[in-house]
Structure 1
Amino acid sequence: MTIKRLISSLTQQENLNFLLTNRIPRAALTRFIGWFSKIEQPLIRDLSIACWRLFSDLDLSEARKTDFKSLHDCFTRELRPGLRPYDPDASIVASPCDAIIGAFGKIADTELFQIKGAPYSLLDLLGDPALVEAHRNGRFITLRLTSSMYHRFHAPYDCRIERVTFIHGDTWNVNPVTLKRIERLFCKNERAVLQTRLATGEALTLVPVAAILVASIQLHFLDRLLNAQTRGPTVFSCDADVRKGDELGWFEHGSTIIVLAPDHFEFCDNVSDSARIRAGEPLMRKSPA
């Protein structure tokens, strides 16, 4: 196959992927899957998980249990104890989740990017001018969870969670194909902004971004599900002290977490574009200075 034909074939595959996962009633399908996945009927459960295996690299060998009540129970599975040890180095910010590393780097004043050449602003992402100032010229990294990954996420550092802001939005797919085509995608999708503060007073912010078939984020310290049906206040004051590795919550499918840190944090040597990282592995290192 010539290079020209190969490029044409790849482009057609990307176009088909985009159409099948985005040019559909995203919100309605997400609500349906949310309902369907919770059906506790053995035949439906087994067929759903079998179909999921067919179209992904789902591996349940690390799961704490192998007998699931439903597809949702399998999505939000826990792992056997000890499989995700968190780096004990006090200078290390660990990955909060299993993921594929996407865009990362230095925030240019208040601008970051979802892929090369596709910028977006901190204010559009966070909606809070004060928090924008805390991360001006800082560091960011994008962690994408695929559908088959472990979907729970954990505290990347010893910190205090001070506030959670839930922002209503769309449910675009967050895969690379869609990131190329939809500008400011992370600023359009539903997301939660978790404001945390380290013992030294520095801001460390996590932004779990929901996506198609997901749009539900469960946080233990709020004891409520955040999704399109969330009504009433969307800003929650918190006072939760967590230790590195403590479970914070989970997605109900795959999605993305954006981590924002101050400018004196540097990326660890294992951080590279499209690399796979596991929860607990080094992500950033705090400079001694």
Structure 2
Amino acid sequence: MKTAVHTLTKTEQFNFLLTNRIPRRWLTLFMGWFSQIESPLLAKISIAIWQCFAEDLRLQDAKKQKFTSLGECFTRELKDGLRPIDQRIDIVSSPCDAIVGACGRVEGSKVFQAKGFPYELSELIPDVRIAHKYRNGVFVTLRLKSSMYHRFHAPVDCQVKQVNYISGDTWNVNPIALKRVEKLFCKNERAVIELKLDRPNSSITLVPVAAILVASMKFNFLSQTLNLSYRGANVIPCDAQFSKGAEMGYFQHGSTIIVFASHEYQLCPGITPGQPIKMGEALLSAEPESNDSHTSPAYAGA
């Protein structure tokens, strides 16, 4: 067991050095260009190389098995029925396939990206009106590995009236980076999506955070593609209605979505750091909180 942990740490350290000690912006822009080159042969070679580093890449789950570009593989759709949605009315389902990172209670306005690395809600969510709703609320960090399904979906029935896009850096968001780079999520490119619910006193907000090699965040309800080349308004109005489980958009590579919910929500059983979760599975519950619901949050890698 000790050997396995040691090997993982060395791998993560190498990954951190490789992806964070190089020109992150230019590599991300290059990846965005390269992934859109339409060449079935180039796509096949690129995917084969990718599979050498990502043994858990499951292309057999994809609707199509042959791709004209690497980007088409990154943003692949899954076969119908592979991600059943938990339709219980009191359940917030996971918006994506992911590995659960730091999660638990927001301590006042303080959130933890990893043990010993806190940030303020207002540093991640610049809209004070939205940030204030999650004081003493609950949060879950969902990390999408590069090999995972990259599309994200509505965790509840909801309406979206605007997207707040914040341009920023492209730090890697893997566990070793989160333990080394202070307030990493607050530095990176991201979007804030407040979900309007039928429950008037409840609030849920998604914060997709981009990372190195993530060429864009594409929302199905916006005509704009949000990436490092975007020069439009930061607050983009829209009027989109979603049923629970409906697709909202996708990353062009692995990244992170942070889910915030107001204080009456709690983590569902089994939601702990390091636990894999699939889109549609139970993530949060609006049932009454237990007596120990205000204990310290869990931390990735604790």
Unaligned runs of 5+ in 2: 290-302
TM-score for the superposition, normalised by structure 1: 0.95
> Within 5 A, what are the aligned runs for 1:78-157?
78-157=77-156
Task: Name the aligned partner's letter for residue 45 of structure 1.
Answer: A
Give how far 1:186 is off: 0.3
SS of structure 2 residue aligned to 1:206? strand
Shift of 1:42: 2.4
1:16 aligns with 14
Identity %: 54
Counterparts in 2 of 1:147 and 1:6: CA distance versus 1, 3 Å: closer
Deviation at 1:288, TM superposition (A): 5.3
For 1:280 and 1:9, how far apart are their aligned partners in 2? Answer: 32
Alignment length (residue pairs)? 287
**Which residue of structure 2 aligns with residue 68 of structure 1?**
67
How far off is 1:46 after superposition? Answer: 1.1
5+ residue gaps, structure 1, are: none
CA distance in 1, matches of 2:47, 2:215: 20
Q: State the match for 1:210 in structure 2.
A: 210
Q: Kindly indicate whether the alpha-carbon contact (under 8 Å) linking 1:115 and 1:179 is maintained by their aligned counterparts in 2.
A: yes
SS for the counterpart of 1:47 is helix
C-alpha change, 1:16 and 1:135, in structure 2 (3 Å) is: same
Which range is displaced more, 165-174 or 233-242? 233-242
Amino acid of the residue matched to residue 149 of structure 2? Y
Matches within 5 A, 1:12-51: 12-51=10-49
Residue pair 1:191, 1:210 contacting (<8 A) in 2 also? yes
For 1:73 and 1:9, the matched residues in 2 are separated by 32
Looking at structure 1, the residues matched to 13 and 151 of structure 2 have their Cα atoms a distance apart, in angstroms, of 31
TM-score by length of 2: 0.91
Contact 1:163 1:196 in 2 (8 A): no
What are the superposed Cα offsets for residues 142-175 of structure 1, whole Å, 9 maximum, x if unpaired?
Answer: 0000000000000000011122100000000000
- Find runs of 4+ consecutive structure 1 residues off by over 2 angstroms: 5-17
Residue 287 of structure 1 and its aligned partner are, at CA, apart by: 2.0
Deviations 1:211-264 (A, max 9, x none): 000041000111221011111211012221111000000000000000000111
Tell me the distance in 1 between the aligned counterparts of 2:6 and 2:81: 46
Shift of 1:8: 7.5
Secondary structure at the aligned position of 1:135 is classed as: coil
